[in-house]
Amino acid sequence: MTPRVLRVAGPAILGGVALIALVGALWFGGGAAQIPLGDAGPVVRWGLPVTKLVVNLAAAGMVGVLVTALFTLRAGEREFDVALDTASISAALFTVAAGATGFLTLLSVFNPAIDAGPQFGAQLGRFLVELEVGRTWLITTVAGAALTVLTFAVRSWVGTLLVALVAVASLVPMGTQGHSGDDAFHHEAMMALILHIIGAAVWLGGLLLLIAVRPALDRRRIPDLVARYSSIALAAFVLVAVSGTVRAAIGLQEWSDLLSPYGAILGIKVVALVGLGLFGAWYRTRLIGRMRSSDAASRPFWMLIAFELALMGVASGAAAALARTPPPNPAPLPEIPSPAERLTGAPLPPELTIERWVTAWNVDMLWAVLAGFAIFFYLAGVWRLRRRGDAWPVYRTIMWVAGMVLLVWVTGGVVNVYQDYLFSMHMVGHMLLTMAIPVLLVAGAPVTLAARAIRKRDDGTRGGREWILWAVHSPVARILTNPFVAAALFIGSLWVFYYTDLFRWSLYDHLGHQWMIAHFLITGYLFALSLIGIDPVPWRLPYAGRLLLLIGVMAMHAFFGIAIMMQSGLMVADWFGSMGRTWGVTPLEDQYTGGGIAWSIGEIPTLILAITVAIQWSRSDDRETKRRDRHADRTGEAELEAYNARLTELADRDARSRR
């Protein structure tokens, strides 16, 4: 199959196989079966999963194409324009399919009589404004419409990057739908589904990009394009595999559930994904090298792409069917939920004891995956440096790994288990996120490692190294890494977060909780970077200025802790005061403890920062002294002798003038 034929036949193969797999899986699993009461009819029952399938495929053509283009193609040339045109067409299809899905969901929920009367309009307005599912599809449709325009209008590097970020964000609301919202493990299922959707979109979209831009590329560049896409696809495959495993474990509580229709459809999807992984491994290890040395290897590669698209269709159809197929034994929700279950969706944990600091776990998948990737790529960079004979300090590696391990513990260990119920535990996590973990990560010098380890590109495309250096030297980075701005964000965000509704948002909304973690981690990293960072920044204060700035921040931080301790009322009382907790101290006493943690324990990392700045200052003076000594040795104290001669000359001149 030639590339030009595949350009047309590829999407047809993908869509046709996906539709067949969807219909078969719905028939087998009963996902489109008639509902005894309030059935909206066969058009809605079968049309809704079909439109969701189109949404998923169009999302891949939008997100995956944009992400892959940023790392593989040259901006300003025809290949880049073709990629963005493909993304724009996909975004338009995504918009139409999302709107159709929202409308069919309305019919499925309300089963209304469709007319132009006020009753239908009221139902539509209520659906779009009051119900979460309606708001989700409204937001998704509006985002798709905006992306359709942006992908058509934007053609620059930076603009495309921003559009790609918006495109990825547009997939997040979709992850809140399906059976994830009905599970007892709601947060875990939702995050697994979001990561699964994003990973699959990047993986499939990159494959579509290959066949879309092939006619616009020089044949000699194809191996490099395929190799770079292969790296992206490998990361996406890992993300899809891990998130899919977690989601399946939530849906299937027992091994016997694999024999259910839900388990059988899931098995078909897994087999398809494993087959795709094997295909990817084969052309990554064997076929790409043959393509570099001979054009004859190109024909089997494009045939392989056709098979991959077919398997992608099977996996996509099965995934869309699973969203409509009920799990065999869903985790039961309590008939009479406790106050804690009403607020958090999970039962109240047992009393916090010493051993539970080690044994209590509720892993946040998002941060566990990010930490895993961060450790892997860091160690890979260190290995590459050592393989070519370059040194890298061991302590930096230890610091980076320790920081990521601590991040996983904070977001998935005892802190995550109890932070919804104890203000003090919430403050422990906050202090570690904003003060302890950033110090460890900054000491790892990840930007310096990336600049030295990642290969520089000279073909007009941008890889990881180029994007990292662009981010470091961007105008936004110059502002954020300014020591005074970083300090203001660091200390100001404490007051803004806890004394506004942002704190409430982080408790009631899981996405708000994720934003909180990211915000405090980033602000803490920027502040630590401005003080003790090894990575390059546009400007740093002298060491004396750093210590003075740190002292000021320490004082304001201590005042923040004291302010919380002096609170006479309970912060977010409808949350911490309504848990029905029967163990431990009262919520107000626990809040007092949290203020003490912010005041006392939170100062320990600050003291470490001060000691580190002092040590760096001392070492800087030693280096300057040694530099001057070496210069004196090279010049034979020429500067000192010239200075003494000048003084002698001035003294002689003064003596002559007195005469």
3-state secondary structure 54-80: HHHHHHHHHHHHHHHHHHHCCCCCHHH
Pairwise CA distance, residues 91 & 61, whole Å: 8
Pairwise CA distance, residues 121 & 112, whole Å: 10
C-alpha dist (Å) from residue 628 to 333, 631, 634: 73, 5, 10
What does DSSP assign to residue 30? T
pLDDT digits (tens, 9 = 90+) for 317-372: 999 998 888 777 655 555 678 888 888 878 899 999 999 999 999 999 999 999 99
Pairwise CA distance, residues 461 & 176, whole Å: 35
Pairwise CA distance, residues 181 & 190, whole Å: 7
140, 148 contact by CB (below 8 A): no
The confidence score (pLDDT) of residue 73 equals: 93
C-alpha dist (Å) from residue 415 to 244, 406, 427, 564: 25, 11, 9, 20
Pairwise CA distance, residues 426 & 411, whole Å: 11
Contacts of 169 (CB under 8 A, 6+ apart): 143
pLDDT digits (tens, 9 = 90+) for 469-528: 999 999 999 999 999 999 999 999 999 999 999 999 999 988 899 999 999 999 999 999
Return the axis-axis angle of helices 543-565 and 587-596, rounded to nearest 10°. 170
Which residues in the chain land under pLDDT 50? 179-183, 624, 631-632
| Identity of the amino acid at 337 | P
| Identity of the amino acid at 116 | A
The confidence score (pLDDT) of residue 401 equals: 97
Helices (H), 323-436: 339-344, 356-359, 365-387, 394-412, 414-418, 423-431
The confidence score (pLDDT) of residue 138 equals: 92
The confidence score (pLDDT) of residue 342 equals: 85
Pair of tokens at residue 61: 């053509």
SS3 content of the chain, % helix, strand, coil (to 5): 80, 0, 20
381, 450 contact by CB (below 8 A): yes
The confidence score (pLDDT) of residue 347 equals: 86
CB-neighbour burial class of residue 238 (10 A; exposed 0-12, middle 13-18, buried 19+): middle
